[in-house]
Amino acid sequence: MTKSGHEPANGLFTNAVPLGAPLTPDFSRVLVVGRSPVNRVVVSKIIEKSGLKPISETPEAAAKMLRTVFPGTVILDGGADNRDCEGLMARLASLRSACRHDAPSVILLATKSHCEADPAPLAAVDAVVAKPITTEMLQPVIDRLLERARQ
């Protein structure tokens, strides 16, 4: 299986959603989106420690993936100006409105200056975690949002 959850042997996505089917999030998967490969690896390692399966993608690849894969959580690395993943917000909001769960949960990894200047998260964002990214800061947020979404 590749990092995107695609199984080349049969050409199917592991949790693909057929048209018209009820949307059911896969709470075992976490989509990590960002331009920085280093940050994606760091976040993916934190996710793996909790027993979840990370899917690491650039914002462009994530937009395509969200058409067929429905992760329970999405972590967006906003980059230096916190705008790297703005193009995904509409798709995430539409997934959330079409689902009976409060999913996917969305976490924005933001620069500290953004968190101080605008502590209120965007409409489609459930939590903002200030960089630098640490296990102690990110893990409790993931756990809390997953628990809330599963209820």
User: What pLDDT shows up at residue 30?
Assistant: 96
* DSSP string for residues in 101-133: SS-SEEEEEE-HHHHHH--SPPTT-SEEEESSP
Report domain extents, the chain. Answer: 24-150
Residue (of 7, 34, 23) closest to 70 by Cα position: 23
Helix (H) or strand (E) holding 12: strand 12-13
User: What pLDDT shows up at residue 14?
Assistant: 45
**How remote is the C-alpha of 76 from its chain's centroid?**
6
> Is 24-150 a domain of CATH 3.40.50.880?
no
User: What pLDDT shows up at residue 121?
Assistant: 52
Residue pLDDT tens, the chain, 151 long:
344 444 433 344 444 444 544 478 899 999 999 999 999 999 999 999 889 999 999 999 999 999 888 999 999 999 988 889 988 988 888 888 877 667 889 999 998 765 555 544 567 788 999 999 999 999 999 989 888 877 7
User: What pLDDT shows up at residue 99?
Assistant: 75
User: What pLDDT shows up at residue 118?
Assistant: 58
Does the pTM of the predicted model rise above 0.75? yes
